Amino acid sequence: MVQLQVKRGDENQFLFTTSVDAQVDTVIQQIAAIYNGRLKVDRICLEIPELAEHGISLPPNMQGLTDDQIVDLKLRDEWEDKCVPSGGPIFRKDDIGRRNGHAPNDKMKEVLMKTVEESKALISNKQVKANVCVTMEMVKEALDQLRGAVTIVYPMGLPPHDPIRMEFDEREDLTGTQASLQVISEDECQLWWAGKEMQRGKKLQDFVGKNEKTKLVVKIQKKGQGAPAREPLITDEQQRQMMLQYHRRQEELKKLEDADDDSYLDSQWSDRQALKRQFQGLTNIKWGPR
């Protein structure tokens, strides 16, 4: 099997296995699905700590308003009594006014936070160093874990306008957000290797040959952004090691240079004739007028 180390820019994303006989279209489809799935998991993992700390999301027309403004406008959160966390809520006010402040208790909060850590670890880019390939099944498993934890804490479900519920229901609206810039749809996705685009309609072997035991660094790119920067000849870690070795060598040469210094020969203790002159009474002789 061919192993692809997928990167976006200079950042590792995940490892992916395929075959040289695979169509480039199929490979791009699978890689795009995993890439966007990992982004979805990350977005949910960013929202769940807010859920654990401040409860469910307020309706859009109540977000950002002060308590007095809500009273003056006679607004009411219809989901507050429906979406109550297991074990009862604890009030923790949300200073930015996005969530209602009726948070889960500490036990339920721990369930959410522990699941977040487990799900993030499952699809983390650290799996690249561990030589573990991330699959779509692993992404789905991470999403199922998060969905299960939210269901445990909120058996009645989350309100339809909550961003976590919208992510689970595939209704997320990323318009105008930084997250929207990271998503690459399958149609816009391009795969680059060795400074060349792997063109659709061809097989992987048309670019990398027929050797199945191959490991490649490929870069995922959005259509229209041009070719990504080539991989450096040496990594940052290799450069650091080379600089460290250079400084060590410089120190060694300096010590050798100091060891060759013969200025000590002018010292009194190194004079081989000193003992002879002492016996002859020729020490401490001063030349000059009395």
In the chain, the number of structural domains is 2
pLDDT in tens, 257-272: 776 666 656 666 666 7
Residue 8 within a domain: yes
pLDDT of residue 268: 65
Question: Are residue 118 and residue 247 in the same domain, yes or no?
Answer: no
Residue 288 within a domain: no
Q: Which two tokens stand for residue 122?
A: 């499952």
Domain-ending residue, one of 173, 196, 222: 222
Residue 227 within a domain: no
Q: Look at residue 219 and tell me whether its pLDDT is greater than 80.
A: yes
Residue 229 within a domain: no
Question: Are residue 243 and residue 135 in the same domain, yes or no?
Answer: no
Closest by CA position to 215, among listed 7, 16, 12: 16
Q: Would you call 146 exposed, middle or buried from its count of C-beta atoms within 10 A (0-12, 13-18, 19+)?
A: buried
Question: Are residue 127 and residue 244 in the same domain, yes or no?
Answer: no
Question: Are residue 204 and residue 105 in the same domain, yes or no?
Answer: yes
Residue 154 within a domain: yes
For 154-185, b where at least 16 C-beta lie within 10 A, e where not — what string?
beeebbebbbbbbbbeeebeeeeeeeeeebbe
Host domain of residue 240: 236-279
Question: Are residue 15 and residue 78 in the same domain, yes or no?
Answer: yes
Closest by CA position to 12, among listed 202, 237, 185: 237
Half-sphere exposure of 22 (CA within 13 A, CB side): 21
Decide if 161 contacts 57 (C-beta within 8 A): yes
Question: Are residue 134 and residue 273 in the same domain, yes or no?
Answer: no
Domain-ending residue, one of 173, 195, 222: 222
pLDDT of residue 240: 87
pLDDT of residue 286: 63
Confidence of residue 277 (pLDDT cuts 50, 70, 90): confident
Tokens 């090691």 sit on residue: 241
Decide if 191 contacts 29 (C-beta within 8 A): no
Decide if 166 contacts 51 (C-beta within 8 A): no
Q: Starting at the edge strand that comes first in sequence, how are the strands of the sheet with 2-8 ordered?
A: 11-18, 2-8, 215-222, 189-193, 196-197
Distance (Å) of CA 132 to CA 16, 99, 146: 9, 37, 21
Question: Are residue 25 and residue 62 in the same domain, yes or no?
Answer: yes
Alpha helices for the chain (secondary structure H): 24-54, 67-72, 106-122, 136-153, 163-168, 178-182, 205-208, 236-259, 274-279
Question: Are residue 209 and residue 256 in the same domain, yes or no?
Answer: no
Question: Are residue 262 and residue 176 in the same domain, yes or no?
Answer: no
Q: Look at residue 207 and tell me whether its pLDDT is greater than 70.
A: yes
Residue 207, C-beta contacts closer than 8 angstroms, at least 6 positions apart: 24, 193, 196, 198
pLDDT in tens, 138-194: 999 999 999 999 999 999 999 999 999 999 999 998 988 899 999 999 999 999 998
More confident residue, 27 or 194: 27
Question: Are residue 87 and residue 194 in the same domain, yes or no?
Answer: yes
Q: Look at residue 290 and tell me whether its pLDDT is greater than 60.
A: no
pLDDT of residue 237: 81
Question: Are residue 174 and residue 274 in the same domain, yes or no?
Answer: no
Q: What is the mean pLDDT of the chain?
A: 89
Residue 158 within a domain: yes
